[in-house]
Structure 1
């Protein structure tokens, strides 16, 4: 985990990969960490393999892969059939299962209101993730999460310009994730 934190600190912009057409751009980019935010059951292994050959640390958002269900067998599939370093999920049980399989884990939280924010602590007791992903990346909410929870925070969602990247990092996020190419080139 220490090595992962060092990589994140040295590479605070995580490339959010959402389509095949962006794979060559990701491979040319110096960023070390990629969140795969798409795919399907048939191709996810190939997508991850291509990124790993390019020297990337790869996390798969298992909630966004077509053909995957919200069951722990998905985690076992990722572990056995891909070279993924970790997973991202909004489902506490899947995050916990991935942790038990030895994968890095990111628990994704969609913060739509105060109730969703207050639920983070209960979910963390179940999932015990390596990192928290706050979506959307509102600096104020990121700061609350950093202050209240003992996990590194990644901001994502609507982090689409330099100012928001800087504000999120100042708020305490260890990194940000974006699908925006302008942010990738920062």
Structure 2
């Protein structure tokens, strides 16, 4: 779909994550060129993604957080591909990510790093061809971000607990290609 997604991330380092549909209008008006939709439901997802795409922004749907979708089988992904305007998906499930990639979505695999086991599991994912980017949470771990970036050609997005410009600067200096945050005030 987007052969240069890493380049798009590099040019648009600040991604706005919408966790409350009431902040969608502000996100659309922001300078961020990429929106991570962290909250919606099956009844409004088509209209919400249409609004995002009409604003000229890339739209990613967090599959695990859409009410009314069951991502335990592939029909939910097929439904989204056929009935939304999304460019990509975000998920914590590698099997879901693999199928989403197969049907033509860009894929951001979200990984929560809470201990050395989750870090090692994430490192094993770096050879997977179905992942377009990995979002590391929490995104305020510079040493871990540096370690991951040295071992991966997959773009790393830092997300979670990014609350000010200093957090953004540290994550980017650590090697993250972009950051995602719900804090609209630090995007513009």
After TM superposition, the score normalised by the length of structure 1 is: 0.94
Which residue pairs with 1:12 in the alignment?
Answer: 13
Displacement, 1:84? 0.3
Residue number among 113, 120, 145 corresponding to 1:142 in the alignment: 145
SS in 1 for 2:163: coil
Cα distance change of structure 1 residues 74 and 126 upon mapping to structure 2, 3 Å threshold: farther
Cα distance change of structure 1 residues 74 and 127 upon mapping to structure 2, 3 Å threshold: farther
Bigger mean CA deviation after superposition, 67-76 or 152-161: 67-76
Residues paired across the two proteins, number: 185
Which residue pairs with 1:59 in the alignment?
Answer: 60
**1:133-153 deviation per Cα after TM superposition (whole angstroms, max 9, x unaligned):** 101002222111111222100
**1:35-71 deviation per Cα after TM superposition (whole angstroms, max 9, x unaligned):** 0001011111111111111111000010111111232
Question: Residue 155 of structure 2 contacts residue 176 of structure 2 at CA under 8 Å; is this kept in 1?
Answer: yes
Provide the C-alpha distance between the structure 2 equivalents of 1:146 and 1:16, rounded to a whole number of angstroms: 22
Question: Pairwise CA RMSD of aligned residues?
Answer: 1.5
After TM superposition, the score normalised by the length of structure 2 is: 0.93
Provide the C-alpha distance between the structure 1 equivalents of 2:111 and 2:82, rounded to a whole number of angstroms: 26
Which residue pairs with 2:93 in the alignment?
Answer: 91
Provide the C-alpha distance between the structure 1 equivalents of 2:62 and 2:15, rounded to a whole number of angstroms: 13
Which residue pairs with 1:154 in the alignment?
Answer: 157
